[in-house]
A and B are shown apart, each in its own frame.
Chain A
């Protein structure tokens, strides 16, 4: 690499990969100057006691006059009034949270995609999600199945178009098993507990990043500051002893969903299978209910 040659006098050995990497860092690191507002921010730190600025000798305090007392009282009143309107950095953060919470709570329905990485060793699974916040019903479309969940009614319906099979079951949410609707609702309900985690550019948008810890799950939300809505949601948690990552993106907030998509009706021609409420369902590595070898299930032809 010819660009490395001039640095040879710098004690760099071109045959060493470490030295070549050092040169690569030198040559590719951003060289823009420090932003002036950043310098101004740190230069404004209060000077601590004893720091290099010489302190003037203390003078005896003048005897307070009535006029001085009045001035002090007026100054305090002005400061208190100003303080009420001033926003501390913490409060600014709260305003941002509240604004995001307000926007997201206004949304009644959303479409997005969800991908799961780490659950299986092969390619990450991707599914389309339709979610309605009023009913809480969520439809997740996998390549080979459709999963409908209704947490309020406590039921689950799995449709397998290829096998023409429908599996109905009580919904037994696993707290360690993130679901798209759960992640959206967590953000809606618990954004006040989130931490601001800087900014990051996602798909051309300078997003604000929020982090939320729920149980063993670390969730990150990238929020578009213009719409105050997430453009990406990521949950990192352990499922079945594996470190998994659940990523939601391609959000379409405030869409109108076809009611048929969220219907629990079993399509004509499907063989319906129900499970006894006392029998826990088994899930495969994708989180799909196992229907090929049902245990305690009671096949019912509708």
Chain B
């Protein structure tokens, strides 16, 4: 069995990446990282964890969304001034990069305004290397329920972000198909 330090070592990067997508301020991310591992550590006492990556991603996503939600509610400093440290080199020219950052911020704020389960499902589906079944298992839901939540989240985000052009995304289509089955 894996020791706790080895477990941390194996998954720290994954958790950090998950948190950093949601929280652009490093100090917030650091706090959230510790809260995630503390929660994971405490939760593990009550029983074995079948799929550590899925579990940690789920905890990190919830923690980060919760923090983002609080920050957004407080309408404070966070995320209105992105932390430019550590942003990867990108080929996009500055105006396009600025536009992308603004769009990314709008998405984070819109996700923070979603109901918690929708926010978690949308974020994990969009960014994490997990199948829908793994996400469902991590969240204690059925795959169909994940599909429904994802559909609702995307519809709410579409409204929040503004008018979209033309066709819905493949994700929306597949979810819509699930709904009509």
Interface residues, chain A, with chain B CB atoms under 8 Å away: 1, 3, 11-13, 15-35, 38-39, 41-45, 47-54, 198-201, 218, 220, 236
Proximity bits, B64-96, A CB within 8 Å = 1, else 0: 000000000010110000110111101110001
Q: A16-B164, A48-B41 are in contact. Are A53 and B3 (CB under 8 A)?
A: yes
Q: A21-B104, A43-B4 are in contact. Are A30 and B158 (CB under 8 A)?
A: no
In angstroms, how far is the closest chain B Cβ from the Cβ of A155?
A: 36
Q: Which residues of A contact B140 (CB under 8 A)?
A: none
Proximity bits, B21-46, A CB within 8 Å = 1, else 0: 10011111011011001100100110
CA distance A11 to B126 in the complex (A): 10
Kindly state whether residue B176 has any CB partner on chain A within 8 Å: no
Contact check, B4 vs A51: say whether CB atoms are below 8 A apart: yes
Q: A39-B8, A52-B4 are in contact. Are A27 and B24 (CB under 8 A)?
A: no
Contact check, B90 vs A3: say whether CB atoms are below 8 A apart: yes
Chain B interface size range = 35 or more
Q: Which residues of B contact A35 (CB under 8 A)?
A: 30
Q: B88's contact among A20, A31, A48, A199, by CB below 8 Å, is which? A: A31
Q: Which residue of B lies closest to A243 (CB)?
A: B75
Contact check, A52 vs B100: say whether CB atoms are below 8 A apart: no
Q: Which residues of A contact B21 (CB under 8 A)?
A: 25-26, 29
Kindly state whether residue B179 has any CB partner on chain A within 8 Å: no
Q: B12's contact among A21, A31, A34, by CB below 8 Å, is which? A: A34
Contact check, A18 vs B107: say whether CB atoms are below 8 A apart: yes
Sampled A-B contacts (5; CB under 8 Å): A13-B167, A17-B161, A29-B17, A48-B41, A198-B27
Taking A38-B16, A44-B5 as given, write out 10 further A-B residue pairs in contact, using a Cβ cutoff of 8 Å, ordered by the A residue number.
A13-B167, A13-B168, A17-B103, A22-B127, A28-B97, A30-B24, A39-B8, A42-B34, A48-B41, A49-B45
Contact check, B103 vs A45: say whether CB atoms are below 8 A apart: no
Contact check, B154 vs A18: say whether CB atoms are below 8 A apart: yes
In angstroms, how far is the closest chain B Cβ from the Cβ of A118?
A: 10
Q: Which residue of B lies closest to A1 (CB)?
A: B96
CA distance A51 to B27 in the complex (A): 30
CA distance A206 to B17 in the complex (A): 23
